[in-house]
Amino acid sequence: DPIQDYNMYLPILGVGTVEQLSEHQLSAIRWLVLEDQYGFGDEYQWYQRYTMAVLYYATSGSLWASSDWLSGIHICEWSEDIVCDPTQKITGLEVNRRSIEGLLPTEIGRLSSLEVLNVDENFFVGSIPSEITLLSNLRILWLSTNNFSGEIPDLSPMAALSSIDFNGNLLTGRIPETLPLVSNLFLFWAADNDLSGTIPTEIWKLSNLASFAVPTNRLSGSIPDDLATSTSLTLLDLRHNLLHGS
């Protein structure tokens, strides 16, 4: 009974019944149970395959993914877009410039070894999944030139994060007040969105911040006088906002 087979995996997914699964999640688990020839492996390896299968089904993967995606070989061999470490855990997902349409799966937040997430220049829609903030090893978060909407989530739990690119989306709301808590932040770009409110003043105290670019938004407030004395900033772009000062 396939439904009974699905039920054995529900605790891994954190749901109680099959009815709680979305169409894309159900397609992914159906593939794993009925078609995947690789075998279960350990729980984390299984979840990696499940997550990549959800991404495939949620974004019409047949239109952009390589022919080895959803094949019976190890997930680290599916595509050059998937980078793994020696223990065969995914550390990089780089599916930029693939004309991908759809939602970015929340399941990505449980890929705990992920260090690089690059989905630049696609057609992703919906909000940035708050589950991304569970990725404590993520260093690079590049989501530029998509159609992400809603507010920027609280990124402060992401201790390793150093490079954020949200350019060219439909993001609204404020730059999170907690952003300065991302202590390793080196680059923050969020140009061409619809962000409003003030820029968190503590951001300028980050010792590693070298590039901060948020032109063409609706940000307001004053530009601190002491920015000119910053020893780390090499790029500062605040044009086309409602800011005052110099």
pTM (2 d.p.): 0.94
Q: Which positions of the chain have pLDDT values less than 50? A: 1
Residue 174, sorted as left (phi over 0), alpha (psi -120 to 50) or beta, turns out to be beta
pLDDT computed for residue 40 by the predictor: 65
Using alpha carbons, select from 91, 84, 125, 96 the residue that is nearest to residue 108. Answer: 91
pLDDT of residue 59: 96
**What's residue 42's pLDDT?**
84
- Residue 1's pLDDT is 43
Find all residues with CB under 8 Å of 161, minimum gap 6, and list them.
138, 139, 141, 155, 182, 184, 185
